[in-house]
Amino acid sequence: MTHHSAFSLFAKALGGHKDWPEQWPDAAPKPAYDAIIVGGGGHGLGAAYYLAKKYGITNVAVLEKGWIGGGNTGRNTTIIRSNYLYDESAHLYDHAVKLWDGLSQELNYNVMYSKRGVMMLAHNVHDVQSLQRHINANRLNGVDNEWLTPQQAKDYCPPLNISPDARHPVLGAALQRRGGTARHDSVAWGYARAAAALGVDIIQNCAVTAIRRGADGAVEGVETTRGPIATKRIGVSAAGNTSVVMQMAGLDFPLESYPLQALVSEPVKPTFPCVVMSNTVHAYMSQSDKGELVIGAGTDQYVSYSQRGALHIIEHTLAAICEIFPIYRRMRMLRTWGGIVDVTPDRSPILGKTPVKGLYVNCGWGTGGFKATPGAGDLLAYTMAKDEPHRINAPFNLDRFRNGRLIDEAAAAAVAH
Amino acid sequence: MILIHCPYCDEKRPEIEFANAGQAHVARPLDPSSQSDEEWEAYLFIRANPRGRHHERWRHVHGCGRFFNAVRDTVTDKFETTYKAGEPRR
């Protein structure tokens, strides 16, 4: 792997960027591995990287049925924050935010993490009380979050409409300054490149079709569209398709898969300095470094694997955006798309062991998985390497749906459920 | 927009008139106090979530207001059939 630096970029620029080598080899599957990760998104590639980097398990394959980062990693709105209410969630998401810091240096690949601040708007008395409760809970957990008056919110984000006559007046806002955005494709590519350099095989166009188990029930390998592969350890990080993969091992999961849509506008000059979310009017927005406004909202209402959604959801989202930010009323939208998100009953992820020996799972991130990418990868790697969960992901086990210790995280989505 | 056939109104109406109400044929236990933790987990939380043919409940909220069942393919989102609540699973 060639090392990237300011000098190497400059040298390539002089050559017209014509001779960039491939960043990692397109591997073919070997007959056996020490560990297999199912799902080549940011979470799965991250897990493979940390398995190799931290725990010395380098004989690892990442199996991706499509192309690297082509699922939810490339379909989200790239928002990073950790202002979650409950202790367990705050620790989990802040673990990821701490890893985002310095990730570009660690991977030697620019993931463009930008701490531009995530601002959540309060439009009514309930919002004010709820957000202030979040701020207090966050501070007790060492997560930064602060209250802004409407004028302070306007100063932080000038396009905001704080007129008292607005349909949804802004009564204040909660701001997490460490929150922000990152370039989602770079996260997948950076992890893939760094993992491959440590010996991990990244195998695309390789769908898992069955999970093989021995007489004692433990996993012995997988059947794939590119032939059988033997392994004693499988980490499933397959987002919306987790239920399908788990059923190959005979496990029914507390998950439902919904389309989550997002859209971008035509690119314009920088006008929008941060991320703004509103639970009440059901929308969130930021501006990418390319200049597009990146907009998202809630999921579609029915279970689907279609990777597209209904137009009336988009109309609802844009009506909310136009109300809060009147300056964008004449902005034209360029593209919309959908990703399939796996939602748990308590809106918190499942990250840990399963009843099947050698089978580990990282799923249920619902509408908010991107922000957790480095943390989820790190914790899945820990759980697979030690065969026990780290204390941060221990509460996010599968048993909680049986013993009732749910983590009922209303802040799990940026928008109300 | 998807058009959905309401078996009570006997009309195909746009999706925005309807609300999805989750998986169909999930029967509440007849004797709740006799249920084990595993049985409660299965009833409350475990869902089929199939990639393909799916049985689900819908409610014609902005129409007759009644619940009915549907069979829909979750990959194409195409409705195979709809039928009245209480009728056997199709």
B15-25 pLDDT, tens digit each: 999 999 999 99
| pLDDT for res A415 | 47
Size of interface A-B (CB pairs under 8 A): 60
Q: Does residue B23 lie within any of the structural domains? A: yes
- CA A403 to chain B, closest CA, distance in angstroms equals 7
Neighbouring CB atoms inside 10 A of A407's CB total: 20
Contact of B3 with chain A, judged by CB distance below 8 Å, is answered with no
Q: State whether B19 and A301 contact (CB < 8 Å).
A: yes
Beta bridge partners of A343: A256
B10-18 average pLDDT score: 96
Phi first, then psi, for residue A192 (nearest 5°) are -60, -45
Structure tokens at A86: 């409950």
Q: Which residue in A has a C-alpha nearest to residue B1's C-alpha?
A: A310
Q: Does residue B16 lie within any of the structural domains? A: yes
Burial tier of A9 (Cβ tally within 10 Å: 0-12, 13-18, 19+)? exposed
Residue-wise burial string across A311-331, b where 16 or more C-beta atoms lie within 10 A, e elsewhere: eebbebbbebbbbbbeebeeb
Strand spans (E) along A193-348 = 201-203, 208-213, 219-224, 227-230, 234-236, 256-265, 275-278, 283-287, 293-299, 333-343
Residue B73 sits in a domain whose CATH number is 3.30.2270.10
- How many domains, chain B? 1
Q: State whether B37 and A312 contact (CB < 8 Å).
A: no
- CA B56 to chain A, closest CA, distance in angstroms equals 9
Q: Does residue B53 lie within any of the structural domains? A: yes
- CA A306 to chain B, closest CA, distance in angstroms equals 5
| pLDDT for res A411 | 59
- CA B18 to chain A, closest CA, distance in angstroms equals 10
Residue-wise burial string across A144-169, b where 16 or more C-beta atoms lie within 10 A, e elsewhere: bbebbebebbbebbebbbbeeeeebe
Contact of A403 with chain B, judged by CB distance below 8 Å, is answered with yes
Q: Which residue in B has a C-alpha nearest to residue A259's C-alpha?
A: B74
What is the extent of the structural domain holding B21? 3-84
| pLDDT for res A2 | 82
Q: Does residue B79 lie within any of the structural domains? A: yes
Contact of B10 with chain A, judged by CB distance below 8 Å, is answered with no
Annotate A5-73 with DSSP letters as a single string: -HHHHHHHHHTTT--PPPSS--PPPPSB-SEEEE--SHHHHHHHHHHHHHH----EEEE-SS-TT-SGG
Do the Cβ atoms of A203 and A226 come closer than 8 Å? yes
Q: For residues A23 and A288, give the distance between their C-alpha atoms in angstroms, rounded to a whole number.
A: 24
- Report which of A261, A257, A262 is spatially closest to residue A246, judged by C-alpha positions: A257
Q: Does residue B90 lie within any of the structural domains? A: no
> Chain A contacts of B40, Cβ < 8 Å?
402
| pLDDT for res A414 | 43
CA dihedral A368, A369, A370, A376 (to 10 degrees): 140
| ipTM of the shown complex | 0.96
Q: Does residue B11 lie within any of the structural domains? A: yes
Q: Find tokens 């398990």 and name the residue.
A: A57
Q: For residues A18 and A37, give the distance between their C-alpha atoms in angstroms, rounded to a whole number.
A: 33
Q: State whether B49 and A253 contact (CB < 8 Å).
A: yes
Dmax (CA) of chain B? 45
Burial tier of A109 (Cβ tally within 10 Å: 0-12, 13-18, 19+)? buried
Q: For residues A87 and A140, give the distance between their C-alpha atoms in angstroms, rounded to a whole number.
A: 9
In whole angstroms, what separates CA A119 from the centre of its chain? 19
> Chain A contacts of B44, Cβ < 8 Å?
345, 401
| pLDDT for res A126 | 92
Mean pLDDT, consecutive 10-residue segments, chain A of 417 residues? Answer: 88 89 94 98 98 97 96 96 95 97 96 96 94 95 97 96 91 97 97 97 97 96 97 97 97 96 96 93 91 92 92 91 92 95 95 97 96 98 98 97 91 48
Q: Does residue B7 lie within any of the structural domains? A: yes
